[in-house]
Amino acid sequence: MSHTADAHDHHAHPPNLAHHFDTPEQQVASGKLGMWIYLSKELGGVNTVVLLTSSLTMAWGVRAAQLGQKKILVWMLSLTLAFAVMFLGIKFVEYKSKWEEGLLPGKRFHPTAPPHVNDGKGAEPGHHDLQERVLPGMVGRGAPAPAPAAPAPAAPVAAAAVPAAPADPSALPPGPKPGDESSLIKPAADGPPGLAVGEVVPLGADRNAVPKNVQIFFGIYFMMTGLHALHVLAGMGVIAWLLKRSLRGDFGPSYFAPVDLGGLYWHLVDLIWIFLFPLMYLIH
Amino acid sequence: MATIDHTMPGTARPGPARQANYLNASHGLLSWLTTLDHKRIGVLYLVSTLTAFFLGGVFALLVRTELLTPTQTIMGPDTYNKMFTLHGAVMVFLFIIPSIPGAIGNFVLPIMLGAKDVAFPRLNLLSWYLYIIGALWAVASIIMGGVDTGWTFYTPYSTTTNTAVISMTFGVFILGFSSILTGVNFITTVHKLRPVEMDWFKMPLLLWALYSTAVIQILATPVLGVTMLLLIAERALGIGIFDPALGGDPILYQHFFWFYSHPAVYIMILPAMGVISEIIPVFSRKHIFGYRFIAYSSVAIAIFGFLVWAHHMFTSGMSPMATMIFSALTFSVAIPSAVKVFNWLATMYGGSIQLKTPMLWAVGFIFVFGIGGLTGLFLGALTTDVHLHDTYFIVAHFHYVMMGGSVFALIGGLFYWWPKMFGRMVEERWAQIGFWLSFVGFNVTFFSQFVLGSRGMPRRYFNYLPEFQGLHQLSTYGSYVLAIGLGLSAVALLHSLFAGRPAPDNPWGAASLEWSTSSPPPTDNFSSEPVAGDPYDYNELAWDRSVQGYVRKG
Amino acid sequence: MHTKGHSAHPGESIGGVHVMPVAVLVGIWVVLIILTVLTVGVTYFDLGPFNLAVALGVALVKASLVALYYMHLKYDHPFNGFILVVSLVFVALFIGITLLDARQYQPDMIPGYAPAMQKK
C-alpha cells in the first residue's frame, strides 16, 4: 500500500524518477495502478454501505412480515432489491474500469501503459517492461510482440524449452541470478525437459515491473467478487419472488418463513462481503 | 429410467392380496418422477447409482483387459487414459458418494426415526434431479471424447489437455449440490423429526453414521464446488490461479481438491460402517457391543477426516514440515476405525451367527476393510509412502477401502433392506454363490495389485515391463470372477422381484423401527404411531412360522 | 423453526417469535456504517503488520452484529449459531493450513516450468 502511495506522490513531479523505479514508464504505470487501487477502495466502500443498508431494509422487511404490515413489507423488499441493483451497478463500473486498464485475470492480464502511448493496438517499445511479463503464446487480446530490446530471451518461434540459466549471466535482467533461490533446495537444473512451451522468464526477471503478485491478485479478485456477485443475483431472484408473493398478501404473523429464510440468505451475502471488502480492496 | 416400472413388484405379479404400499400407491413413470416420497426417491437413487456402477464397472473391465499384455491389447494409450479416468470419475462421483446416503439413507433414515418423511421432501427430489443433471454433464463429456486427466483433475495438465474437462468438472460441481441437499435434509430430519422417546443414544447406529456423513457433505462439498469452478475458470478464462505459467500454484489445486476429496472418502465409508453396524448384531442375535463407542467413533472419523487431507500430497512438493504433521495426524483416523472393527467383532463373539447373505457381505466387509485400513497405515507413514506413492499398492489400498468397504456394505445393505424395499425375499442360494464369487474375485483382483505396487509397478501406466505380466493377468482374471459374482447377485435381486416369496414385516428379526411396519411400507410409513425402544434388543422378538418372520412376543 | 424468544430483550414477541424493534435495527445499521468508515479511514495510516489484523478485526465485529441481530441468532436456538461458527472454523482451518503450507513451499517453485496455456 505504501509503495503505491509513494508512487502517486512522485507522479506529481514528472522529472524525478524515484530511486526504487528503473524507468519512468514503470513509475507512471505503478502510479496508475495505485490510483485504480485507490479508486476501487472508494467504490468498494460505497458498495459496502449499499449492501449494509440493503441488509437493514431486509431485516426491517422480516419484521414487517412478522407483524403483518403488508405495505411496509412491500416497500422494504422493493428497497432491498433497489440497493442490490445499485450494488451490481457499482460493481459493473468497477469491472469496466479494470477491463479498460487490462487488469484482467490470468492470461488476459495486460496492464496498459498510460493512454497517451496506448492506442489499443499495443504499446510502443520502451513500455515493454509491463508487457514482457505476459508470456507470448498466452497473451489475450492485442498482445504485442516482444520488443527487440526485451531482456527476456528468444522470440515466440523458439518453441523448444529454453534453458533456465542462460550461458552469460550478465545478460540477465536485474533481479536475483540463478542460484539466488531463497530455498536451500536447488531446483532441478533445467526442469523436466519438454514441458516448457514458449519462453521461460528467468527467475525474478519481472520482479520490478508491476508490484509482485498483482496478476494473481486480480485472478483472485475477479473470482471472489464474481462469485459473490452471482450470489447477489441469486438473492435478487429470491427477493423478487418474495416481493411478488407479498404483493399478493401471502405473508402475515402466522406465515412468514419464506421472508425469514430469504432474509437469512441475503444477510449471509452481506456477511461475506463484509470480509471480502477489506481483503480485496483495502489490503495490498 | 424406463426400468423403474419393472421394479414395482406390487404390480408386476398378481401375488397374494397386498395392502396399499408406497409402490402401488400410484402408477406410471410420471408418478415416480414427481414423487416427494423419500422411499421412492431412494429407489430412484438406487436405480440411477446402480446404473452408474454398471457403467463404471464396464470401464474397469476394459482397463483390466487392456492390461492383460505389457503392450497394446485392445485399445490405444489415449483411449486407455480416458478409460481409467472415466472409471474413477463415474465410480467416485456418480456411484459411491451418492449411493448409500442417496439410496439406502433416503429409504431407511426417516422410517428408522419413525417419521413420515425427511424434513424437506421437495429438496430431496431436487437433489435427485441435480444428481441426474450432473450425471448427464458427465455423460456428455464421455460423448465429447472423454477426459484423460485421472479422476483428480490435477492442474496444470487438466487446464491444458484438449479433452472434455469442463463438462465433466461442471457435472461434478452440480453433483456436489445434490450431495449438499441430501446432507441438509438428513441433519434437519435427525434433529427435528426424531420422536421424543428416542434420544440421541437410542438412535440406530446407521443414523449416527449418516448424520456424521451429512456434516462432511455440508462442510466439505462447497470446497469441491469452488475448486471445480476455479478449474473451469482457469481453463475457459485462464485466470492463472493454478497454472504456474501464469504465476499460479498447482500445489494449491491439490490442497483445494483434497480438502474435499479426503473427507469424501469418509462420505463413502461412514455410511457403509453404519450399514455394517446394523447388520452385524441382527445376524449375531446379540445386542451391539459398545454402542457409544461406535456412535462417537463416527463423529470422530468425521472430524479427524478433515485434518488429514494433505497425506495425498506427500510427494507433490509441499513443505517438509506439513508432510510430517499430516503424516502424524493421519494415524489418528486409524483409532476410531479400529474402535468400530473391534466392537463389531465383540458383537459377533458369543452370538449365534446366521450366515445369511447380508451377514456374508458384512463379514466380508470386515475382512477386506481390515486389509484396506491396515495397508493405509503404510501409506500414511511418510517414509514408506514416498516409495509406494503412485504405484499399484495405492490402487489396491483404496479399492480395498472403497470397493471392498463401501460397495460390500452397500450390497450387504441392499440384501438386508431389499425385503423391506420391495416386499420380496431373495433366493439365498444364488445370492450366496454371488457373494463367494465376488469375494474371491475381489481379493484375487486387488491383492495381486498390492504385490505389483510393492515391486514398483506405477499406476496409470499403459505399457509395463514383462516381469509384471503374470500378476497383471491374475488381477484381470480376478476382475472377471468379480464381475460374474456381482452379476449373479444382481440376477438374484432382480429374480426376487418377479418370483421371490412375499416378505414378512420382519424377516431377519431386527428391532429398529423400519421392521415394525409392513413390507413394503405404506406411503406414510406407519399405519399406527410406532414406539421406539432399544434398536438392538432382540429379546422381545420370536420366530413365527405362520408368517415366516419375526414377531413381538406377547 | 423458531424456538421461544428470550424475554431478556425489550423486543416485541408474537407467537413466541422474536420481532426486532425498529430502533435496534436502525441502531445496528448506524454502528455498521461507522465501522465501515473506520475500516476505510484506518487504511490511510500504515500500521505495518497490524493492517490486516485491524481490518479483519473490524470485519469480525461487523459480521457478528449482522449475525446476532439481523440474522436473529441472539434470540434463536443456540444450535443455529453453533452451525455458523463451526462452518467459519472450517473455512479458517482450510485457508489457514493451506496458506501456511504455500508460504513454505512457494520459494521452491520454478516460475514458468509448466505447459503454457496453449490448446492443441
Average pLDDT over residues A237-253: 93
Q: How far is B162 from chain C (nearest CA, A)?
A: 6
The string of pLDDT tens digits covering residues A141-173 is 333 333 333 333 333 333 333 333 344 444 444
Contacts of B452 (CB under 8 A, 6+ apart): B391, B392, B393, B396, B468, B471, B472, B475
> Has domain B40-552 been given CATH number 3.50.50.60?
no
Q: Is the pLDDT of residue A202 over 90?
A: no
H-state helical runs in A101-213: 128-131
Q: Which helix (H) or strand (E) holds B59?
A: helix B38-66
Average pLDDT over residues B206-232: 93
B395 close to B471: Cβ distance less than 8 angstroms: no
Omega within 30 of 0 (cis) for the link into B156: yes
Residues B402, B405, B408: CA angle, nearest 5 degrees: 110
Residue type, A107: K
Distance (Å, whole) CA B334 – CA C8: 47
The answer to whether residue A216 neighbours chain B at the CB level (below 8 Å) is: yes
- Please tell me whether residue A238 adopts helix, strand or coil conformation: helix
Distance (Å, whole) CA B307 – CA B259: 9
Q: How far is B120 from chain A (nearest CA, A)?
A: 14
B243 neighbourhood in chain C, CB within 8 Å: 114, 117
In chain B, what is the straight-line distance between the N-terminal and C-terminal CA atoms, in Å?
Answer: 45
Distance (Å, whole) CA B64 – CA B98: 25
B541 close to B509: Cβ distance less than 8 angstroms: yes
Cell of A79: 428497497
Q: Of A75-84, A130-139, B29-38, B167-176, where does mean pLDDT reach its minimum?
A: A130-139
Distance (Å, whole) CA A51 – CA A45: 10
Give the DSSP per-residue string, B109-133. Answer: HHHHTT-SS-S-HHHHHHHHHHHHH
Distance (Å, whole) CA A36 – CA A281: 10
Among all residues of chain B, which has the CA nearest to that of A220? B241
Q: Is the pLDDT of residue A205 over 60?
A: no
A135 neighbourhood in chain B, CB within 8 Å: 245-246
C94–B251 C-beta distance less than 8 A:
no
**Domain extents in chain B:** 40-552
pLDDT score for A230: 92
The answer to whether residue B466 neighbours chain C at the CB level (below 8 Å) is: no
The string of pLDDT tens digits covering residues B255-298 is 999 999 999 999 999 999 999 999 999 999 999 999 999 999 99
pLDDT score for A112: 60
Pairing of strands C17-19, C12-14: antiparallel
Cell of C17: 417469535
Distance (Å, whole) CA A240 – CA B501: 55
Classify burial at A31, counting beta carbons within 10 Å of its beta carbon; exposed 0-12, middle 13-18, buried 19 or more. Answer: buried
B223–C94 C-beta distance less than 8 A:
yes
Q: Is the pLDDT of residue A242 over 70?
A: yes
How distant is the alpha carbon of residue A204 from its chain centre? 22
Confidence of residue A15 (pLDDT cuts 50, 70, 90): low
Q: How far is A49 from chain C (nearest CA, A)?
A: 6
C66 neighbourhood in chain A, CB within 8 Å: 55, 267, 270-271, 274
The string of pLDDT tens digits covering residues C31-75 is 999 999 888 887 777 777 777 888 888 999 999 999 999 998 888
Identify the residue among C70, C91, C120 best suited for mutation to test binding to A, counting A beta carbons within 10 A and taking the highest. C70
Q: Is the pLDDT of residue A212 over 80?
A: no
H-state helical runs in B465-513: 469-499
Give the closest of B226, B239, B245 to A219, CB-based.
B239
Q: Which range has highest mean pLDDT (A90-99, B32-41, B309-318)?
A: B32-41
pLDDT score for A37: 65
H-state helical runs in B116-239: 121-143, 157-160, 165-192, 205-237
The string of pLDDT tens digits covering residues A117-141 is 333 343 333 333 333 333 333 333 3
A175 close to A188: Cβ distance less than 8 angstroms: no
Distance (Å, whole) CA B435 – CA B441: 10
Distance (Å, whole) CA C37 – CA B45: 52
So what's the ipTM on this one? 0.80
Distance (Å, whole) CA B437 – CA B484: 7
Distance (Å, whole) CA A201 – CA A134: 9
Any idea what DSSP says for residue A254? Answer: T
Average pLDDT over residues A247-255: 90
Average pLDDT over residues A20-24: 71
pLDDT score for B193: 93
Mean pLDDT of chain A: 66
Neighbours of chain B (3+ CB pairs under 8 A): A, C
Distance (Å, whole) CA A59 – CA A51: 12
CA dist list (Å): A143 to A111, A137, A200, B222: 11, 9, 17, 36
A276 neighbourhood in chain C, CB within 8 Å: none
Give the closest of A182, A197, A271 to C116, CB-based.
A197
pLDDT score for A19: 66
Q: Give percent of chain B with pLDDT exceeding 90.
A: 82
- Residue with more model confidence, B299 or A215: B299
Distance (Å, whole) CA B233 – CA A106: 10
pLDDT score for A120: 39
Instruction: Taking each helix axis as running N to C, give the angle between helix B320-348 and helix B291-304, from 0 to 180 degrees, rounded to the nearest 10.
Output: 160
Distance (Å, whole) CA C28 – CA C7: 20
- Residue with more model confidence, A206 or B273: B273
The number of beta carbons lying within 10 Å of the beta carbon of residue B172 is 26
pLDDT score for A27: 72
CA dist list (Å): B78 to A272, B137, B142, B146: 44, 21, 13, 10
B245 neighbourhood in chain A, CB within 8 Å: 135, 138
Q: What is the dihedral of CA B51, B56, B61, B66, to 10 degrees?
A: 140
Nearest one of B342, B245, B325, B243 to B290, comparing CA atoms: B342
B382 close to B327: Cβ distance less than 8 angstroms: yes
- 3-state helix, strand, coil split of chain B in percent (to 5) is 70, 0, 30
Neighbours of chain A (3+ CB pairs under 8 A): B, C
Distance (Å, whole) CA B337 – CA A258: 42
Q: How far is A107 from chain B (nearest CA, A)?
A: 5
Q: Is the pLDDT of residue A244 over 50?
A: yes
Nearest one of A83, A82, A60 to A72, comparing CA atoms: A60
Q: Is the pLDDT of residue B350 over 70?
A: yes
A215 neighbourhood in chain B, CB within 8 Å: 240, 246-247
A52–C1 C-beta distance less than 8 A:
no
Average pLDDT over residues B135-156: 91
Q: Is the pLDDT of residue A265 over 90?
A: yes
Cell of B228: 471445480
Average pLDDT over residues B511-539: 91
What are the residues of chain C with a beta carbon less than 8 Å away from any beta carbon of chain A? 1, 12, 14-15, 17, 19-20, 22, 25-26, 28-29, 32-33, 36-37, 39-40, 43, 46, 51-52, 55-56, 58-59, 62-63, 66-67, 69-71, 107-108, 110-118
Average pLDDT over residues B175-191: 95
Residue type, A130: L
Nearest one of B424, B546, B416 to B112, comparing CA atoms: B416
Contacts of B421 (CB under 8 A, 6+ apart): B39, B42, B43, B46, B107, B520
Nearest one of B101, B106, B110 to B124, comparing CA atoms: B106
Nearest one of B187, B159, B114, B145 to B249, comparing CA atoms: B159
Confidence of residue B17 (pLDDT cuts 50, 70, 90): very low
Nearest one of B343, B334, B406, B400 to B367, comparing CA atoms: B400
Q: How far is C99 from chain A (nearest CA, A)?
A: 14
Identify the residue among A98, A99, A133, A138 best suited for mutation to test binding to B, counting B beta carbons within 10 A and taking the highest. A138
Cell of B58: 464396464
C1 neighbourhood in chain A, CB within 8 Å: 257, 260
Average pLDDT over residues A218-231: 87
Nearest one of A203, A209, A212 to A177, comparing CA atoms: A203
Cell numbers 486409524: residue: B334
Q: Is the pLDDT of residue B74 over 80?
A: yes
Contacts of B503 (CB under 8 A, 6+ apart): B419, B420, B422, B423, B424, B425, B519, B549
Distance (Å, whole) CA A239 – CA B144: 38
Residue type, A123: A
Contacts of B161 (CB under 8 A, 6+ apart): B147, B148, B149
Confidence of residue A4 (pLDDT cuts 50, 70, 90): very low
Nearest one of B103, B4, B7 to B500, comparing CA atoms: B7
Mean pLDDT of chain B: 92
pLDDT score for A213: 62
Any idea what DSSP says for residue A252? Answer: B
